[in-house]
């Protein structure tokens, strides 16, 4: 994937999507008051920026660990290090917790809200037939599908067209990364990668 193209397209077209559709941004229907749609980049915030950090969690290299209370995803590296990404997590009661593996990967994935999502948030009924992959899709540039025992959990690690949500608990349960960060993680994590969500 061309990371520079993803970032530019995701920022411009994704911002337009926020203004016209509201997608799956949790209880908020758009950016917080005072947010500059074209100016805020979570990677400029040192707390949320992708960076290498010390890591002593005990998981083997190649494992993905998502700490939902910290709002960080760690890709465990060799030598007690990890790449840390800022993430948005599910609203209270909607987050996946436990162990899974990446069962499938997709670039510019299509998206369709689940029946549970539409029941909780009737405004999502407008997307009942699905949204094709591309910059206007709420799953962003890529998605890593979480499986347990060979079955899709319906939870994803995915990009977002709402970068302002990174660092918050606003999603319908999936883990969101900026489009540039999901592109980076997508390139590192093959199908079969172990994922631990705590």
Q: Give the model's pLDDT for residue 5.
A: 47
Is residue 181 within 8 Å of 144, Cβ to Cβ?
A: no
> Which of 23, 151, 168, 174 is an active site residue?
174
Q: At 163, is the pLDDT very low, low, confident or very high (cuts 50, 70, 90)?
A: confident
**Section 174-179 average pLDDT:** 92
pLDDT tens by residue, 62-102: 999 999 999 999 999 999 999 999 999 977 656 778 999 99
Residue 1: pLDDT above 60?
no
Residue 106: pLDDT above 50?
yes
Q: Give the model's pLDDT for residue 93.
A: 52
Q: At 173, is the pLDDT very low, low, confident or very high (cuts 50, 70, 90)?
A: confident
23 catalytic? Reply is: no
Q: Give the model's pLDDT for residue 116.
A: 80
CA distance 38 to 23: 18
Q: Give the model's pLDDT for residue 44.
A: 65
151 catalytic? Reply is: no
Q: Which spans in the chain are helix H?
A: 3-20, 115-120, 179-188
Strands (E), the chain: 51-54, 64-67, 72-76, 81-86, 89-90, 98-107, 142-148, 151-158, 169-171, 175-176, 194-197
CA distance 192 to 54: 24
């Amino acid at each position: 994937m061309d990371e520079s193209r993803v970032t530019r397209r995701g920022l411009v077209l994704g911002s337009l999507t926020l203004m016209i559709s509201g997608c799956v941004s949790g209880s908020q229907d758009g950016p917080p008051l005072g947010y500059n749609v074209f100016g805020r980049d979570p990677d400029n915030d040192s707390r949320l920026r992708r960076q290498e950090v010390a890591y002593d969690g005990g998981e083997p290299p190649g494992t993905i660990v998502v700490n939902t209370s910290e709002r960080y995803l760690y890709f465990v590296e060799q030598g007690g290090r990890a790449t840390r990404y800022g993430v948005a997590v599910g609203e209270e009661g909607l987050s996946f917790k436990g162990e899974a593996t990446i069962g499938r990967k997709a670039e510019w994935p299509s998206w369709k809200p689940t029946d549970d999502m539409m029941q909780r948030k009737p405004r999502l009924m407008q997307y009942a037939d699905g949204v094709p992959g591309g910059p206007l899709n709420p799953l962003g540039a890529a998605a890593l599908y979480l499986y347990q025992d060979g079955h899709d959990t319906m939870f994803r690690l995915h990009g977002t067209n709402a970068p302002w949500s990174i660092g918050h608990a606003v999603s319908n349960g999936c883990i969101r990364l900026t489009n540039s960060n999901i592109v980076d993680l997508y390139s590192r994590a093959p199908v079969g990668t172990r994922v631990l969500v705590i």
